[in-house]
Structure formats: structure tokens, C-alpha cells
Amino acid sequence: MKKSIIVIILVSILLNLLPVKAYADGGPEISSEAAILMNMNTGDILYQKNADEKLSPASTT
């Protein structure tokens, strides 16, 4: 009984040491012509779609 508990604990510890890989899909599907997502604190661009393309604004009011 004691050996089986030790084996279960050791197997649990070994399984926790294995790395877990997670993959993200390609990105969000946005129906707009252009978009940009920026981290306000660091200024890093997290996502962009046609960010350099010049477009007229959607609304000015």
C-alpha cells in the first residue's frame, strides 16, 4: 500500500515536470480595412492590420 502511494506521488511529480505547449491561432478576424492594437504603457504594437495604409476617418463628430 505504501509503495503504491509513493509510485503515484512520483508519477505525479514527473508528469508536472513535462512542458506544456500552447499554440495560438493566426489572430483575430477583423472585418475593418485597417486596425491597430497598442500597449498604452510600453507603446508596443500587439496587433496591426494595414496600419501604414492611409485611410479617411470614419467619423469626425
* Nearest alpha-carbon partner for 53 in 38, 36, 39, 41: 36
Please state the pTM of the whole predicted model.
0.46
CA atoms within a 13 Å half-sphere pointing along the CA-CB vector of 26? 3
pLDDT at 25: 76
* pLDDT band per the 50, 70, 90 thresholds, residue 45: very high
User: For 17-40, what is each residue's pLDDT tens digit?
Assistant: 888 888 877 777 888 888 889 999
